[in-house]
Amino acid sequence: MDDLLADFLTETHEGLLALDSALVRLERTPDDQPTLSEVFRLVHTIKGTCGFLGLARLEAVAHAAENVLGRYRDGTLPVTAGGITLILRALDRVKEIVAGLEAGGAEPPGDDAALIAALDAAAAGEDPGVVAGGGVAAAAPPAPAETAPAAPPPAAPSSAESPPEPGPAATGNAPQTIRVSVDVLEDLMTLVSELVLTRNQLLQLARAHQADAFAVPLQRLSHITSDLQEGVMKTRMQPIGNAWAKLPRLVRDLAHELGKKIELEMQGAQTELDRQVLELIRDPLTHMVRNSADHGLEPPAERRAAGKPETGRILLNAYHEGGHIIIEIGDDGRGLPVERIRAKALANGLATESELAQMSEREILRFIFAPGFSTAQQVTAVSGRGVGMDVVKTNIEKIGGTVELASRQGRGTTFTIKIPLTLAIASALIVEAGGERFALPQIGVVELVRVGSGQEGAPRIERIKDAPVLRLRERLLPLVSLAGLLRLPAAREEEGFVAVMQVGGQVFGIILDRVFDTEEIVVKPVAPILRHITMFSGNTILGDGSVIMILDPNGIARAAGVGLDTAEEEGRRGAPAARGVSSEASTSLLLFRAGPGGPKAVPLGLVARLEVIPGERIEMSGTTPVVQYRGGLMPLVAPMPGWVPPGAGERQPVLVFTENGRAMGLAVEEILDVIEERFVIEPGTARPGFIGSAVIAGRVTEVVDTAHWLAQAGEDWFRPAAAAPGGAPRPRLLLVEDSAFFRHLVVPALAAAGYDVTAVESATEALRLRDDGAPFDAVISDIEMPEMDGIAFARAIRAGGPWAEAPLIALSSRAAPADVARGRDAGFTDYVAKYDREGLLQSLRECLAVTPAAA
């Protein structure tokens, strides 16, 4: 409303000015049709607008004046000096009211009855000229010449006392806002940017030369430049509401078209941002709101069935945070279909089944930002054309922003966009790598960590194989070396800095040699012949006059392979607490050495025996080394490149795994230790054969994916008798397990055994799947879990619903008879100890044989 009023006042001022001179012209040449039409149109516009804004007094006066002018224009009434005077009086009244409006935000009280009556009388054909004619008519001409001074005296002081919000007012009816071409503002911005650079340069010079005489005026220049910069930035600021203006209509039309009930709520429409950013954000926002309306929100019937109000809500929220603006687009719809995204990702070859099995829900959701990814089952006119979120993401990243999403099945989806307030001037860290300086925009920098062996307690950069990592507050941060990425000579790594970056959902560190200070930089695009280097977003001139390249965190993340949008930050925000209370976080691990890099680990429970085999017993069967072991042949595989079986006289340590009565030996260099420890696996750094890495006994340790190596030992290793023959659908299993480690362990094993496995982190999530009607042939659940434990979960399942009859297998580290009895009481079909892979597979075969198609 305030904005509308401000616009109205600006327009009315312009109109009144034009009217004054037009009326005077009209008085001189009463028959001038174009002038008459112009006057009529101007008055008509004022009347129309104030009617719309509910300004009753203004409307009545303007309406009466318009009546008279209408008759003049139609030629049914001759233009007389008296009539013009009357119109001018009406306009003066309009100005008076407008002045009051400006000062107080509302129409001032007053009685216009006499004036309106006189106008009506004139419209009816009476010539008022006789009454006031000469005197007022003579007084009228000077009025337009000095519009401002002619303002009613009381208005001016009151407007000074309470300056209205949209711009400072000098006098009552001087226009408070003026229209300036955008080009002028752009030029101003460019000039100010240059000024900032020059100022920085001067300051640097002054620092170097200790020129005292210049210090004070320079300081002053610096302040003024900063103020000017701020002022010019302000002229470019627009409320984000401007980008939202079309959305209510869009949503209304969509609701109509889709047969949905949608309520659009907009908060923080007054939040201002640079108009350039505003323009660039407009389309992505529209697209996302459209997506929410089309895909996010359910039809009324479905909402009713889900126990939600029929009317779906889309919430737009904007606010400032630091130097950024945060925009949230949320809906209370069905949430993103994780399963469908997973299937689509697999179908599109974006990830393999085993990669997907290791991913958290968050990571999977981010596939919607992959190019050409759309899960809409039907292509509608509204969205679902397969172009979309990737474009949205690209556009947002182009302006140095980030987009994240959170989705809950049945509860809705929220996208969070973070963008800089302006593109022209950014704050950057000046850093050095490989002997060169670079500017690192601060938007993505979460923190700076000093690394090195120099100080006591300072974190050190460690390596897993060739990949540098940093242990930072009990998490493993993948690192990239800036010098390495830019193919510059790498400096020694013992001393230096790591800039912890957040790009999208991805957190990683950039290894830097030195960090200087922060500087305001003006981002300039690079020359066309350098555009192919995605590592830079632009270049700029520093205070010392040198040119510096500006790093693009997105480009670095992509080049380093950490920004593929397979965000591994799963529990970080999601449920850090849940992981902390995970009951079986403490696990017995066998540590061993195999190949380069740090130690490797495998859960002790998976290892059948440890053997040291003399080299002469190792024979070759084709290309596979084997040993005769317990009446059979045991293949040996080694989780390290370039392993050759030892010759006679040497001894080979082997971890023996058994499965289906067969054995496989994992050849290692040395068995180190068995320890009991709680740890958290970071899947991010995984390479084939390893589930991921974790900090174990204070060292970065890779955890072996036994399924991978077992599969290497023989193709038919994991093809149990129960595997569905000839393309029959694979039995669907649901695994409820709060520990990421066990999910990563069990899911690939079950998948390899021919099951279609879905893993969830909690019982509540599982129950949500049930309520969504997801069908499963059997459910495997952990017992000790935070929130709802396995016992309560079993009771909930048996209490009714589609899974009431489904086989339910408990998987627990506690398998004492009392525990088993308690589990069976609660409704578990079977009870299997953790790590007992064979026992679990056996149990599944039995359960599924009894109920071939439960659920």
Site for another protein, rule CB under 8 A: 194, 197-198, 434, 436-437, 486-488, 524, 526-533, 535-536, 539-541, 545-549
How much of the chain is helix, strand and coil, in % rounded to 5? 40, 25, 35
Least Å from the CB of residue 712 to another protein: 38
Nearer to another protein (CB atom), residue 164 or residue 553: 553
State how beta strands 402-408 and 324-331 pair: unpaired
Query: For residue 315, which of 403, 244, 409 has the smallest C-alpha distance?
Result: 244
CB 607 within 8 A of CB 657: yes
**92 C-beta neighbours (distance < 10 Å), count:** 19
Nearer to another protein (CB atom), residue 348 or residue 546: 546
Least Å from the CB of residue 731 to another protein: 51
Distance CA 385, CA 304 (A): 28
Tokens 């209490």 identify what position? 799
Distance CA 454, CA 468 (A): 18
Nearer to another protein (CB atom), residue 479 or residue 556: 556
Q: Please work out, in degrees rounded to the nearest 5, the angle formed at the alpha carbon of residue 75 by the alpha carbons of 74 and 77.
A: 110
Nearer to another protein (CB atom), residue 423 or residue 526: 526
Nearer to another protein (CB atom), residue 437 or residue 572: 437
* Alpha helices (runs of H) in 503-584, residue ranges in sequence order: 553-560, 570-573, 576-580
Least Å from the CB of residue 488 to another protein: 6
Residue 305 backbone zone (phi > 0: left; psi -120 to 50: alpha; other: beta): alpha
Nearer to another protein (CB atom), residue 179 or residue 487: 487
Nearer to another protein (CB atom), residue 486 or residue 854: 486
Write out the two tokens for 665. 């030996």
Least Å from the CB of residue 532 to another protein: 6
Amino acid in the structure at residue 265: E
Least Å from the CB of residue 517 to another protein: 18
Write out the two tokens for 613. 């085999």
Provide Rg for the chain, Cα atoms. Answer: 37
Least Å from the CB of residue 443 to another protein: 22
Nearer to another protein (CB atom), residue 28 or residue 531: 531
State how beta strands 732-736 and 756-760 pair: parallel
Least Å from the CB of residue 34 to another protein: 45
Least Å from the CB of residue 489 to another protein: 11
Distance CA 493, CA 469 (A): 12
Distance CA 638, CA 622 (A): 16
Distance CA 225, CA 195 (A): 7
Q: Is the dihedral of CA 449, 452, 457, 460 positive or negative?
A: positive
Nearer to another protein (CB atom), residue 551 or residue 780: 551
Least Å from the CB of residue 555 to another protein: 10
CB 335 within 8 A of CB 409: yes
Least Å from the CB of residue 482 to another protein: 9
Nearer to another protein (CB atom), residue 209 or residue 487: 487
Q: Please work out, in degrees rounded to the nearest 5, the angle formed at the alpha carbon of residue 350 by the alpha carbons of 345 and 355.
A: 85
Tokens 């670079």 identify what position? 438
Least Å from the CB of residue 546 to another protein: 6
DSSP code string of 49-108: HHHHHT-HHHHHHHHHHHHHHHHHHHTSS---HHHHHHHHHHHHHHHHHHHHHHHHSSPP
Nearer to another protein (CB atom), residue 140 or residue 197: 197
Least Å from the CB of residue 184 to another protein: 20
Least Å from the CB of residue 528 to another protein: 7
Tokens 């293949």 identify what position? 635
Strand segments, DSSP code E, in 358-494 are 402-408, 412-420, 425-433, 436-441, 445-452, 461-464, 467-472, 475-481
Write out the two tokens for 824. 């069976």
Write out the two tokens for 330. 């949320």
Least Å from the CB of residue 486 to another protein: 4
Least Å from the CB of residue 423 to another protein: 17
With 0-12 / 13-18 / 19 or more C-beta atoms within 10 angstroms meaning exposed / middle / buried, residue 362 is: buried
Distance CA 123, CA 597 (A): 97
Tokens 């040996």 identify what position? 636
Distance CA 11, CA 7 (A): 6
Nearer to another protein (CB atom), residue 483 or residue 760: 483
CB 419 within 8 A of CB 240: no
